Structure 1
């Protein structure tokens, strides 16, 4: 298959599909961390979606203003009322600009002329849902520990033309408040810093290996049946 992995710099998802022999490329406005020559620096909205891909996996589109945890910065009670607080040093205009960017990237990818689409994004707040395409389903919510990764991270997958992920190596959960449990929550407990957003959004290899195998297998079965 010809696979595009959008909004990824780590190469984790790209390498998972590449290991299965697919013609896979990643793209982002930033360079690839691994220096791969199969990474295209571009805005995913600038035409690359029209280049005949069989599967699009969008890993980390801008979601800070779309997710439920970010709603308090967008509006007070009701919808689009003045928020009580804003992040330090930011204006409401900043929040609205980032919200519009997130909506535009997400909807552009969802509407792409590609049969199979998977977009990784948290469950959205009501303001974002109001701007989404009518055919957008509820996300499938999964955790890394379903796929052998000792970590909690409630990860949403919005899927079109693809099956929901099936857990492959579910780890037993640690006792709440134990040292191991705190380690599993390291993403949520990560302190502020310049790399916090990038590190928090990073893919887990176990989950992406499962996704590549399951979605590839599904696509192959559909092609054989056709």
Structure 2
């Protein structure tokens, strides 16, 4: 079965009902909306663009609403990814953002063992969210997440390794940001406009590394989590086109 993604202006005869979870930027939502789909985003925070197609809630409240396609873009992943596994052995000096306000307030006074209990609980919570999305009663599911450590994998129901890892520069955006997709019922994305990355140490390489070089601050997480427009367009065209084709 072929997948058509060359025409970025097609309008579906029967629009798909699509949920874009854990997204506040609206980048992926707008990419699908431009192709005529009935698409909604949701997050615990409001949409940056003020769209009336954004629902403020826990994504799990919406998983049984009869969606044709679910794309979960930025689920809380700090506790699941390889870079966070060290905190399960030795807790961080500062309280993690996912801790409760009470836990953050008393973090400095907690014992090492008490802090570790919180870190393992946060791992369980992150794995439960990923599991609920991955096993949602939806035929086509894509979940973005970094490569996981073994403790996370053990906690994910029906875990299966990421189908692919892509970079924004594979899709015409001059940026470095490895993005892994766990896919169920969807094909891997095909690069649409692969650029030639600059050499390390050059000024251009630094510009491409803006995500990794983002300064610490309140908005750092937002800068680091945004989906590149090129990848968003590829999702809408390729995954949307594939879903329409198999549903025809």
If the length of structure 1 is used for normalisation, what is the TM-score? 0.91
Alignment partner, residue 18 of structure 1: 33
Checking the alignment, whether the CA contact within 8 Å between 1:11 and 1:33 is kept in structure 2 is yes
The Cα of 1:97 is off from its aligned counterpart by 3.2
Contact 1:62 1:101 in 2 (8 A): no
Residues 118, 162 of structure 1: 8 Å contact kept: yes
How much has 1:12 moved relative to structure 2? 0.4
Task: Give the corresponding residue for 2:231.
Answer: 207
Q: Which has the higher contact order (CA 8 A, sep 6+)?
A: 2
State whether structure 2 residue 62 is matched by structure 1 residue 60: no
Between stretches 61-70 and 135-144, larger displacement belongs to: 135-144
Root-mean-square deviation (Å): 1.3
Measured in 1, the distance between the counterparts of 2:66 and 2:26 equals 21
Preserved contact between residue 27 and residue 39 of structure 1 (Cα < 8 Å): yes
Larger Rg belongs to: 2
Match of 1:218 in 2: 242
In the alignment, structure 1 residue 131 sits paired with structure 2 residue 137: no
Gaps of at least 5 residues in structure 1 are 76-82
Contact 2:175 2:208 in 1 (8 A): yes
Deviation string, structure 1 residues 81-138 (Cα, Å, up to 9, x no partner): xx2x524245334422321221111000011100000001111111111112235233
Contact 2:80 2:127 in 1 (8 A): yes
**Partner residue, 2:133:** 109
Conserved in 1, the CA contact under 8 Å of 2:135 and 2:158?
A: no
Residue in structure 1 matched with residue 60 of structure 2 by the alignment: 45
Q: Normalised by the size of structure 2, how large is the TM-score?
A: 0.83
